[in-house]
Every structure is written in structure tokens, then in C-alpha cells.
Amino acid sequence: MTQPNPRYAGGFPKIGIRPIVDRRKLVKAAIGEMTMELAQAAADLITGQIRNPDGTPAEVIVFDTCISGMPEASRCANEFRREGVGVILTVAAGWCYPLETMETDSTLPHAVWGFNGTERPGAVYLAALHAAHNQKGIPAFKIYGRHIQEPDERGIPGDVREKLLRFARAGFAAALLRGKSYLSIGTVSMGIAGCIVDESFYRRYLGMKNAYVDMTEVTRRIEDGIYDPEEFGRALEWTTEYCREGPDPNDERERIAPERKKENWADSVQMALIARDLMIGNPKLAELGFEEEAYGYNAIASGFQGQREWTDHNPSADFLEAILCSSFDWNGVREPYMVATENDNLNAISMLLNHYLSHTAQIFADVRAFWSPEAVERVTGRRPEGIAKQGFLHLINSGPAALDGTGEQTRGGQPVMKPHWEIDAREVEACLAATSWRPTYMDQFAGGGYSTDFTTRGGMPVTMSRLNLVDGLGPVLQLAEGWTVELPPDMHDALDLRTTPTWPTTWFVPNLIPGDPVFDDVYGVMGNWGSNHCAISYGHIGADLITLASVLRIPVNMHNVDQESIFRPSAWSAFGTKDPEDADYRACAAYGPLYK
């Protein structure tokens, strides 16, 4: 079933390819056709691998003629502007005049692929063009194959292919952010600084806007029935059938009466409908006479304050957050929404960046505790084994751990989290069956409600990330690639019962690097994490995150990605080659935000 309203009403950004060739007649005749063929090969690669958020192939536009000077360059820029191009790739097989053929829009992520051949070397144009970009303060990515190719080759070498796709994924993710908004439902929850919305950060680094709605608007819409009643009935019926209620953890005297629990389910479903409608709008509301409420806020991410001004009186937002963050609901399989608990907007953006790179749902979690092998042995009587033998992190939070995080989707018999267009009905039912909806602890959520309870299956490659704001520095990104692990049931129970067992648990082990200041052991990752929250994405996407961060001019202060996989604009090397982290900081500071 289609979504009630598209999230991308203006359409998706496109990727533009600029073929470049020398204007001299004989040169143009010799390699003009070759250059167009290389440009088309790059286009075919990108459309075959890069997806829009709805699963359709990203649209690539190859300019209809080779650019040899300022007239074609200007015409190409105008066409790309009309077509909504948000990412640019320049392709060259030989020399041309850089200053006359370059694109100078500094807000568009830009890469240049210079064909590595000796006859008319694209590498010479590539180097000269990058010198021009760097001199003018317009960083660009340099793509140049390791091995010399024959002039009649049209295949894309593996190393070139990897860089083309890494740039395309990151550039496209950045373009998807532009012009959209983050919606705060409520304000600051329990004094958490990540809830503070820094509008300058959104505008200057992400090209986004901010919208604000008080939680009383949710109350009004519940009381006045400002939601689609037909969908509400269908959603409540689906929830009753598929959302299995688990044991109540509260003392008998503190439990909510059965009738009130039933009302809480209805309220929870209404809250989910209303939060979604606030984000993206709903034309059905206009048909019902609520024309203004039908608009929405063009939000690709949002957060719900909840505690405590809401949860002391009303059901928690755990159902709202968990079901919207999942890749499915009563309307079937669909793109997950990015909704942060406690309105931690910085974690919402972390989830969003992860999502646009992986196209998967995200797990929002507290970085709750580091369990050393000694502590595990003290509590359970034995030490963890396998990849967990040096200890692990307990990642857990009440709300927006997407049900995809159960790990009940599979590929080749292994647990995975899939892009929504790959998920089938059997996998949806498996995720739901693995989830228990537990009544909330009344000492934390006096208004009641339901939290998700599941344990993530082990063996999944995942990346834990977090965007932080630091006074005097600005935004910084940190990440840790690693694996989910499954503990023996008795060990899991002993450790899980020491915290909040009614919440979803992900046991996580980062990939360790002997001698690294942070990643030498698991404790170092916990000790250097910049917040109480993190976003967990399926897949080892750290290299893509680093490339995306460089596009947005956000330095990366902590990662465990191989140096060979890191791909940043060529100008970064001018800030130093012996210490890439230091060079990243200084380059980001020198160039400033993408939309400054």
C-alpha cells in the first residue's frame, strides 16, 4: 500500500555527469566519443548501485555533449540546475583547460574521474583541475585508477569503481538533506543537551530547516480526532493482532487496570499516526476538514520529547518511536522514519546519515554499560567467549529501536537488516513475533504505555555512530564498526536483569585495533563516546560515513576504519599527510560549513 503522502514532494536530487574534452578539432575527434562512453559507463554503474530512499534507481543525467570551454560549461550548469542535480561527477580522458571547464558551485559535492591512460592522460587534466579547485576553495574528490589502461578499454577498474560509488553514496546522501527539515515535538527532555536544537548547525552544515510543535498539539489532535479514522481502525486492528503484549513488570498494586491498558494501546496508535502526519502531512486530513493540519513540516527526521511533561500523564512514546522507525507497519513495508526518543536531535541526524547510506532502519540506543570479562565472570560465574571475550557494550533504550533490529530478516541464512524494498511478509512477521510489548515501569512512565522488548541476534556487522556538538569546535562525528553478539541465555538473563529488561538489548563488540588510543580495547570505546546515546546501522558503513562527513565539512574524531578505505577531497592532503585526523580537522575548519 502506498504511503499517505510522499516524503519527497519535490522529487529526489539527481546526479549529473560532465564529460570533458579538449576543444582542438583533432583531439576532440580522437577522444570525444571515448569520453562520452566513459561518462555513460559511470552513469550505468551509479544507476545500478545507488538508490533513492524509495528503492528506485537514482537518476543520472549525462550532459549531452562534451564540455570544452566556458559556453558548454555554463549551459551544463544551467541544465543541471533546472533538473535538480545535487551531485556532480566530471569525467575526462585527456587534457582540457581547467579554469574554462570547471563547475564552481561550491555547495554541490563534486568528484573528478581522470582516465589513467598514457596516450592522452586524463590524469594531467585531473591534477590541474584539482589544483584549480583547491586554489579557489572548492574541494573536490580525485578519482584515478592505480593501473594504466589501454585506450580502447571502457570497463571501470575495481579501485575506480569503489571510489565512484563511495563518492556517489555520500554526495547523494548530502543532497537528500538539502531543503528538508527536522521537527521537534516538544523541547528538552530531562536536561539532555542533545535535545537542544542548534539552528545554525542545521542551516550551515546540512542545508536543513527546523520546525517546532508543542506536545499539546498531539493532545489536541487526539482529543479532537484529527487523524484518519479509517486508518486508525485498521492500525489498531493490526496492532492488536501482531503486537504481542508481554508480562507486566510492575508490582501488582502499581499496575494499570486492564481497561486503561486497552485505552493506552489506542492512544499509542493515535500518537504514531499524529507524529507521522506532523512530519510529512496527510491529504486525508484536508478531506476531513482539517486543511491546515494536512500540511506537515516536510520533515525527514523528528524527535519526541516525552519525558517528563508528557509521560507523567500520558502513555509513553515508545510505540510511536519504535513502529515509525521500523520498515513496516499496518500499511505494509515502507521506508522507515527517523524519530528520536527524548527529542535527541543529534542522534536523529546520526540515524538519518546512517539511513541514507545504508537504506536500512536504525537502532537508537543508550550506551548503557561496558561489561568487562572480569565483571561478567563475577556476576555469572564464567567469562564470555568468542568475539565477546574482551568484553562488550550493552546498548539499550526504551523507544526507537526499530523492530528490524531483532535481526529476524535474513540473507543467505544469516541475520541482517535489509532495505525496505527487500523485506518480505514472512520477515515482517518474524520481527513482530520476536518482539514483546511490555507495560512500562510506572516509576519511570507514570502514564503507562508499552516498550519494545527483544534481543538483537548476533553475527550482524553494524556501525555505531554519533554526531556531537562541541563549543569552540562545532560538529564532530564518531563511529565504531563492529558486530552484534549473542550471549548464552543464562548469561544474557543475568546481565539484562540488572538494568531494564523490558527494553530491547543489543550486545555490541567493536572491531579492535591493537595499540590504538581508543580501539585497543572495548572500554576505550565506552570511555571516549561523546554522549549517552548512539545510532546503530546495519553494515560496516564507516568509510562511507567518513566520506559524507568530509562533504559536510564535519571532522571525524574517532573511528576504526582502515586508512586505505578513507576517501576525502584531494585538498585534505594539503593539510598534512602524516596525520589524517589532524588534517581532517584543519581542512574542515579552513573550508567551513558546506552552506556557509
Q: Is 159 annotated as a binding residue?
A: no
Please, what sign has the CA dihedral across residues 510, 511, 513, 514? positive
The contacts of residue 324 (CB under 8 Å, 6+ apart) are 272, 275, 276, 336, 337, 339, 400
Task: State how far the Cα of 83 lies from the Cα of 63, in Å rounded to an integer.
Answer: 11
DSSP state of 58: P
Q: Which three cell numbers stand for residue 390?
A: 574482551
Query: What grid cell was written down for 234?
Result: 485498521
- Eight-state DSSP code of residue 157: P
C-alpha cell, 283: 491529504
Nearest to 45 by CA among 29, 62, 63, 32: 62
Find out whether 533 is annotated in a ligand binding site.
yes
Neighbours of 212 (CB within 10 A): 12
227, containing H or E segment? none
Contacts of 417 (CB under 8 A, 6+ apart): 360, 361, 402, 404, 405, 407, 409, 460, 538
DSSP 291: T
Question: In whole angstroms, what is the distance from residue 210 CA to residue 200 CA?
Answer: 10
**Residues facing 396 on adjacent strands:** 366, 505
Q: Is 342 annotated as a binding residue?
A: yes
- Taking the C-alpha atoms of residue 338 and residue 75, their distance in angstroms, rounded to an integer, is 38
Known catalytic membership, residue 342 = yes
Angle between helices 158-177 and 542-552 (to 10 degrees): 50
The grid coordinates listed for 202 are 542545521
Q: The C-alpha cell of 147 is what?
A: 593501473
Strand partners, 535: 364, 465
CA dist 462 and 456 (Å) reads: 11
Q: Exactly one of 342, 427, 496, 584 is catalytic; name it.
A: 342
Distance from C-alpha of 406 to C-alpha of 434, rounded to nearest angstrom: 7
Active site residue 292: no
Catalytic residue among 366, 496, 544, 584, which?
A: 366
96, 102, 125 from 122: Cα distances, Å:
9, 14, 5
Q: How far is 132 from 148, CA to CA, in rounded Å?
A: 24
Q: Which three cell numbers stand for residue 463?
A: 556501525
**How far is it, in rounded angstroms, from Cα 526 to Cα 368?**
9
Q: Where are the alpha helices (DSSP H) in 406-461?
A: 425-433
- Residues marked active site are found at 342, 366
- Binding residue positions: 342, 366, 533
- Binding residue positions for Mn(2+): 342, 366, 533
